[in-house]
């Protein structure tokens, strides 16, 4: 439903009044078409008011609920979502959030009937009908009086007329705008409230995709040659992220969809008990760096991103002795990501300690559960404020001025500690009952689906209370299998995640002495943990003798398989102990990278992968640095929050954290590395056996040489199925034939994928 207005009294059409019923109890829209107050119409580029006019009764029936109007995917172009003229704001009704569409053409305030129960409103009897400019009139279901509403700094009471609306949840109209002395400023996407607490509120973009059409809307659209679709297919982001989920969970998520918005609201997060504090080592001087030089495209992107962050309230102009440089890195989709170089600030920041739950304790609790939900916050760091007085320390310097962050930026050394502390406080009372928070992983676990629904409801309600928002595409809901801390939880059972040992299990049998030396270089490092190691390895070690010719016998294969099994089971492979320090060893070759995570000389996890084509063109020390970044990102849940050592055989990389200037790629890598507390140590190649072997697996070398010929196999999508089945569907082909023969009038046929 578009913008709304109510019927008014014939005697005083200029002044809106309470809706009145006719003698028969309702007003007939056909008879009372001339008795409408102002009705607003939204066009694609401009908002304006028009006078109501009679229209020809629709010839296609009263409703056409299956028809929708939108653009096919291949015709959609990136555009400003506000160009359709719609202006939205986030509102709270009785403390519960809801998104409202501001309509200066609506005579009253309107609420969608589906929201009444969620908001806990009591309705009084409503009379009269309400009508949008392009749909038939409908009765008012009731009126909620003296409703407590909060918008920005304003808080007061208003009345809401309840009607059925498909497109909007809440429409504050002229009643609200007059009472609050609010001016709509579409040219700056804002509302100016001039009441007792004056404030300016940035407006938001709302959903502008497909919607159901009434018969009247459909007829008018056909006259204007607007494309309308009998059926559209939409991907379910929740299903895409989680896999199939029970209907009762979907219903719950629908109730709390405001906790999982498509974008964060354009306002600062509230101040909480946990804001990010930057405590500096006493006696240190504020670090200040000069801006890095940028190309013209980067300068254009810099202006754009600074403008967006200023409008969103994320940053503000600064006058500060501090200054960090910014760079850009190109993402996979071609867009540029801004990175802040906070190395100098982090060097003089007091490092915080914060408790991390024991992995074994987490496993004990999760092992009893059958249903799991993982929640990931949308831009979680940006949902935390910088402590008042510390904003200047986050200042970044650019060609266009200096700016300080009001929310927690990426790249600050204590950011993970702050985030973990906040989540522990927010979910206090749920922890160890049905919630585990491990760094930024939030896991809800339950024995039964009924329990899980209630547990999930409590958690998302708590997120709503604290104004924290999740990213639905990164969440998984009510799953029976979940990956957590390098292990798979599945209906009361725990098993090791195959990815931890995949690098070993996929190792192909050696084809020559060089390959054999590489494999034995790995297993020899852990010989003291393998019972009867020499006896098991003898068939392979005999092949290294100069007097022996290469002959890979069944005994060699058995020896190879037994040593591989020994590497991925106790006592070689061990569970992590978070009270002990970790050591990470990495290495990179011309075609692959490898690494091992260790404690007390025991491996905790192995990793190895081939380099992508673009990565193979990196310099030697950038390949080595990539290996470190890749492994630390992979083992982040083990390493974050505690000091550890990274050992590399590249002398340049061992001094990376003190480089005076970085390339764009290196700057974004260091932004990730700044989360960790680690020391880079140089280790001669002759002592880096494990990582060296993992980065020189013969099978990865052969894969790299034919990388251009390989391709990923992806699951068949709904689009692929539609392409496959539509040509076989007799009804679909009949429509296509009629359309091609111009037998359908205003209808057309298009395979839009």
What CATH number is associated with residue 84?
Answer: 2.40.70.10
Q: What is the pLDDT of residue 286?
A: 92
Residues 6+ apart with CB under 8 A from 621: 650, 652, 653
Distance CA 469, CA 113 (A): 25
Q: How many residues does the chain have?
A: 753
pLDDT at 54 over 50: no
Q: Render the burial of 415-449: b for 16+ CB within 10 Å, e for the rest.
A: bbbbbbbbbbebbeebeeebbbbbbbbbbbbbeee
Burial of 488 (0-12, 13-18, 19+ CB in 10 A): middle
Q: Are strands 199-202 and 212-214 parallel, antiparallel or unpaired?
A: unpaired
Do 714 and 34 contact (CB within 8 A), yes or no?
A: no
Segment among 113-117, 145-149, 494-498 with least mean pLDDT: 494-498
Do both 256 and 200 map to the same domain? no
Do both 299 and 191 map to the same domain? no
Distance CA 175, CA 398 (A): 46
Q: Are strands 110-112 and 154-163 parallel, antiparallel or unpaired?
A: parallel
CATH code of 348's domain? 3.10.10.10
3-class state of residue 137 by DSSP:
coil
What one-character-per-residue DSSP string does 508-554 give? PPPSSHHHHHHHHHHHHTTGGGSTTHHHHHHHHHGGGSTTPPP---H
User: How large a percentage of the chain has pLDDT more than 70?
Assistant: 68
The radius of gyration computed from the CA coordinates of the chain, to the nearest angstrom, equals 31
Segment among 325-329, 686-690, 708-712 with least mean pLDDT: 708-712
Do 122 and 109 contact (CB within 8 A), yes or no?
A: no
Q: What is the pLDDT of residue 355?
A: 65
Residues 6+ apart with CB under 8 A from 128: 6, 7, 18, 19, 20, 21, 27, 139, 140
Do both 408 and 467 map to the same domain? yes
Segment 351-374 shows an average pLDDT of: 76
Distance CA 408, CA 405 (A): 7
3-class state of residue 97 by DSSP:
strand
Please report which confidence band the pLDDT of residue 36 belongs to, taking 50, 70 and 90 as the band edges: very low
Segment among 70-84, 372-386, 483-497 with least mean pLDDT: 70-84
Integer angstrom CA distances of residue 510 from 407, 427, 699 = 53, 52, 9
Determine phi and psi for 739, rounding to 5 degrees. -65, -45
Do both 692 and 718 map to the same domain? no
pLDDT at 434 over 80: yes
Do both 37 and 165 map to the same domain? yes
Do both 151 and 261 map to the same domain? no
Provide the β-strand partners of residue 39: 50
How many domains does one find in the chain? Answer: 4
Do both 577 and 467 map to the same domain? no
Distance CA 503, CA 700 (A): 10
Do both 427 and 558 map to the same domain? no
Residues 6+ apart with CB under 8 A from 628: 584, 586, 595, 646, 648, 653, 673
Q: 181 vs 335, which has greater pLDDT?
A: 181
- Whether residue 63 is preceded by a cis peptide bond, meaning omega within 30 degrees of 0, is no
Distance CA 543, CA 517 (A): 10
pLDDT at 122 over 50: yes
Segment 235-245 shows an average pLDDT of: 57
Q: What is the pLDDT of residue 55?
A: 37
Q: 247 vs 24, which has greater pLDDT?
A: 247
CA angle 113, 118, 121 (to 5 degrees): 70
Distance CA 284, CA 286 (A): 7
Q: What is the pLDDT of residue 405?
A: 94
pLDDT at 51 over 50: no
pLDDT at 69 over 70: no
Please report which confidence band the pLDDT of residue 506 belongs to, taking 50, 70 and 90 as the band edges: confident
pLDDT at 567 over 90: no
CATH code of 506's domain? 3.30.420.10
Do 410 and 431 contact (CB within 8 A), yes or no?
A: no
Q: Token pair 């009937």 is at which residue?
A: 113
Q: What is the pLDDT of residue 431?
A: 87
- Identify the domain boundary among 495, 510, 545: 495
Q: What is the pLDDT of residue 348?
A: 92
Segment 525-548, tens digit of pLDDT: 666 666 677 778 888 888 888 777
Segment among 49-53, 117-121, 185-189, 509-513 with least mean pLDDT: 49-53
pLDDT at 77 over 50: no
Do 594 and 627 contact (CB within 8 A), yes or no?
A: yes
Distance CA 556, CA 675 (A): 45
Do both 258 and 228 map to the same domain? no
- Identify the domain boundary among 176, 210, 234: 234
Segment among 21-35, 209-223, 341-355, 507-521 with least mean pLDDT: 21-35
- Give the 3-state DSSP-derived string for 596-643, with helices as H, strands as E and coil as C: EEEECCEEEEEEEEECCCCHHHCCHHHHHHHHHHHHHHHCHHHHCCCC
Q: 262 vs 11, which has greater pLDDT?
A: 262
Instruction: Enumerate long-range contacts of 145-149, CB under 8 Å, 24 or more apart.
Output: 147/93, 147/94, 147/121, 148/93, 148/94, 148/95, 149/91, 149/92, 149/93, 149/176
Do both 689 and 745 map to the same domain? no
pLDDT at 623 over 80: yes
Residues 6+ apart with CB under 8 A from 474: 241, 376, 378
Structure tokens at 262: 């498509």
Do both 183 and 263 map to the same domain? no
Segment 343-355 shows an average pLDDT of: 85
Please report which confidence band the pLDDT of residue 703 belongs to, taking 50, 70 and 90 as the band edges: very low
Burial of 527 (0-12, 13-18, 19+ CB in 10 A): middle
pLDDT at 23 over 80: no
What one-character-per-residue DSSP string does 541-596 give? HGGGSTTPPP---HHHHHHHHHHHHHHTSTTTS----TTS-EEEEEEE-SSEEEEE
Residues 6+ apart with CB under 8 A from 353: 417
User: How large a percentage of the chain has pLDDT more than 90?
Assistant: 12
Determine phi and psi for 462, rounding to 5 degrees. -65, -40
pLDDT at 521 over 80: no
What one-character-per-residue DSSP string does 704-749 give? HHTGGG-----PPPHHHHHHHHGGG-HHHHHHHHHHHTT-STT---
Determine phi and psi for 171, rounding to 5 degrees. -125, 100
Burial of 387 (0-12, 13-18, 19+ CB in 10 A): middle
Please report which confidence band the pLDDT of residue 278 belongs to, taking 50, 70 and 90 as the band edges: very high
pLDDT at 22 over 60: no
Please report which confidence band the pLDDT of residue 373 belongs to, taking 50, 70 and 90 as the band edges: very high
Do both 71 and 27 map to the same domain? yes
* Residue-number span of the structural domain to which 744 is assigned: 712-753
Mean pLDDT, the chain, integer = 74
Residues 6+ apart with CB under 8 A from 587: 593, 594, 595, 624, 627, 648, 649, 688, 691, 692, 694, 695
Report the Cα 107 to chain-centroid distance in Å: 38
Burial of 743 (0-12, 13-18, 19+ CB in 10 A): exposed
Residues 6+ apart with CB under 8 A from 76: none
Q: What is the pLDDT of residue 455?
A: 94
Segment 364-377 shows an average pLDDT of: 84
Neighbours of 375 (CB within 10 A): 27
- Identify the domain boundary among 234, 249, 277: 234
Q: 611 vs 458, which has greater pLDDT?
A: 458
Please report which confidence band the pLDDT of residue 611 belongs to, taking 50, 70 and 90 as the band edges: confident
Please report which confidence band the pLDDT of residue 707 belongs to, taking 50, 70 and 90 as the band edges: very low
How does DSSP classify residue 657? G
């Amino acid at each position: 439903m578009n913008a709304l207005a109510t019927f008014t009294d014939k005697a005083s059409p200029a002044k809106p009044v309470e809706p009145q019923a006719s003698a028969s109890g309702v007003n007939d829209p056909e008879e009372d078409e001339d008795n409408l107050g102002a009705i607003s119409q939204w066009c694609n580029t401009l908002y304006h008011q028009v006078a109501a006019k009679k229209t020809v009764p629709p010839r296609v029936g009263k409703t056409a609920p299956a028809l929708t109007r939108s653009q096919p995917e291949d015709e959609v172009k990136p555009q400003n979502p506000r160009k359709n003229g719609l202006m939205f704001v986030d509102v709270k009704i009785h403390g519960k959030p809801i998104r409202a569409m501001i309509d200066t053409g609506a005579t009253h305030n309107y609420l969608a009937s589906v929201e009444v129960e969620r908001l806990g409103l009591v309705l009084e009897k409503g009379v009269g009908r309400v009508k949008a400019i392009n749909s038939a009139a409908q009765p008012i279901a009731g009126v909620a009086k003296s409703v407590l509403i909060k918008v920005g700094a304003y808080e007061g009471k208003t009345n809401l007329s309840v009607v059925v609306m498909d497109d909007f949840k809440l429409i504050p109209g002229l009643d609200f705008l007059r009472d609050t002395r609010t001016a709509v400023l579409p040219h700056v996407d804002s509302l100016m409230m001039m009441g007792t607490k004056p404030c300016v509120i940035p407006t938001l973009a709302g959903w502008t995709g497909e919607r159901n059409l009434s018969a009247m809307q459909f007829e008018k659209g056909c006259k204007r040659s607007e494309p309308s679709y009998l059926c559209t297919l939409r991907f379910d982001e929740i299903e895409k992220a989680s896999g199939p989920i029970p209907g009762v969970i979907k219903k719950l998520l629908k109730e709390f969809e405001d906790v999982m918005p498509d974008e964060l609201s354009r306002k600062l997060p509230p101040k909480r008990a946990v804001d990010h504090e930057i405590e500096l080592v006493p006696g240190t001087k504020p670090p200040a760096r000069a801006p890095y030089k940028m190309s013209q495209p980067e300068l254009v992107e810099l202006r754009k991103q600074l403008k967006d962050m200023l409008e969103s309230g994320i940053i503000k102009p600064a006058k500060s002795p501090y200054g960090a440089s910014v760079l850009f890195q190109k993402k996979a989709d071609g867009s540029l990501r801004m990175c802040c170089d906070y190395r100098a600030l982090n060097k003089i920041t007091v490092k915080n300690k914060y408790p991390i739950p024991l992995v074994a304790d987490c496993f004990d609790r999760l092992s009893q559960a059958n249903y799991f939900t993982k929640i990931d916050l949308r831009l979680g760091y940006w949902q935390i404020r910088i402590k008042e007085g510390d904003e200047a320390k986050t200042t970044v310097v650019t060609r266009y001025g200096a700016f300080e962050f009001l929310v927690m930026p990426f790249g600050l050394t204590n950011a993970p500690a702050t985030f973990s502390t906040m989540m522990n406080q927010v979910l206090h009372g749920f922890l160890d009952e049905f919630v585990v928070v491990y760094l930024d992983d939030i896991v809800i676990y339950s024995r039964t689906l009924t329990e899980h629904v209630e547990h999930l409801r409590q958690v998302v309600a708590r997120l709503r209370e604290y104004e924290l928002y999740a990213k639905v595409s990164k969440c998984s809901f009510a799953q029976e299998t979940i990956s957590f801390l390098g292990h798979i939880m599945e209906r009361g059972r725990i098993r090791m995640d195959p990815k931890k040992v995949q690098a070993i299990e996929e190792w192909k049998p050696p084809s020559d002495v060089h390959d054999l030396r590489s494999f034995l270089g790995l297993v020899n490092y852990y010989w003291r943990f393998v019972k009867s190691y020499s006896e098991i390895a003898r068939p392979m070690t005999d092949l290294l003798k100069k007097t022996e010719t290469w002959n890979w016998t069944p005994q060699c294969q058995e020896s190879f398989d037994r040593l591989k099994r020994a590497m991925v089971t106790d006592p070689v492979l061990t569970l992590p102990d978070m009270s002990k320090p970790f050591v990470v060893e990495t290495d990179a070759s011309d075609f692959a990278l490898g690494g091992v995570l260790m404690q007390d000389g025991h491996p905790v996890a192995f990793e190895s992968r081939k380099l992508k084509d673009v990565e193979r063109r990196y310099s030697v020390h950038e390949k080595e640095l990539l290996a470190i970044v890749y492994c630390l990102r992979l083992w982040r849940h083990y390493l974050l929050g505690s000091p550890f050592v990274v050992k590399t055989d590249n002398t340049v990389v061992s001094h990376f954290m003190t480089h005076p200037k970085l390339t764009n790629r290196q700057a974004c890598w260091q932004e990730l590395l700044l989360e960790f507390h680690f020391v880079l140590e140089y280790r001669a190649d002759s002592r880096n056996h494990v990582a060296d072997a993992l980065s020189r697996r013969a099978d990865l070398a052969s894969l790299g040489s034919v990388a251009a010929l390989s391709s990923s196999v992806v699951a068949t999508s709904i689009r692929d199925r539609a392409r496959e089945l539509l040509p076989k569907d007799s009804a679909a082909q009949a429509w296509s034939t009629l359309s091609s023969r111009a037998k359908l009038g205003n209808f057309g046929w298009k395979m839009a994928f």
